[in-house]
Structures are given as C-alpha cells and as structure tokens.
Amino acid sequence: MPGLISGTQLQANIITRKKDNAMLIPHVYVINGNKVLVQKDKKTDTVTITTGIVSDEWIEVLTGLTTNDKIVKQK
C-alpha cells in the first residue's frame, strides 16, 4: 500500500456539537450575520434571526423563521 503522495489534499469534518431537530439554512441566505429575506406572496421582507451553531455551509436558526417561511437569496 503506497504512502501519502506529495501535493494531495485531505478534508476532514470534525463534529464538535450535535443537535436533533435543528432548523438549518445555507449560510449564503444570511445577510450581515443575522438577517434573511423572506418571500410572502409577491412581497419580500427582511427578517432578523437568532442564530445558533454555525458551520462552513450551514447556520442554525433559533428564532425568527418557521418551517413554512420561504427564504430567498439577496441579489
């Protein structure tokens, strides 16, 4: 079995916390760290959220959104 090859890359995910039934949204939807755009009918509102655990890709939402809210990306 060969050893490590020079120039190869390794990615590791280390789980530091775990939470069941958490609401997660992709971080690209979050504006200024604690705001999201929510579309209701044909209107878009800015909503302030409280965040919890944050990873490179996901942000936990503690308050400010429901599972029925439709979030949209900022243009």
Domain ranges of the chain: 23-67
Average pLDDT over residues 35-43: 94
Average pLDDT value over all residues in the chain: 90
Average pLDDT over residues 21-44: 94
Q: What backbone phi and psi angles, to 5 degrees, belong to 29?
A: -90, -10
pLDDT confidence band for 10 (50 / 70 / 90)? confident
pLDDT at 38: 97
pTM of the predicted structure, to 2 decimals: 0.75
Using CA of residue 19, residue 21, residue 27, residue 30, what is the dihedral sign?
negative
pLDDT at 13: 78
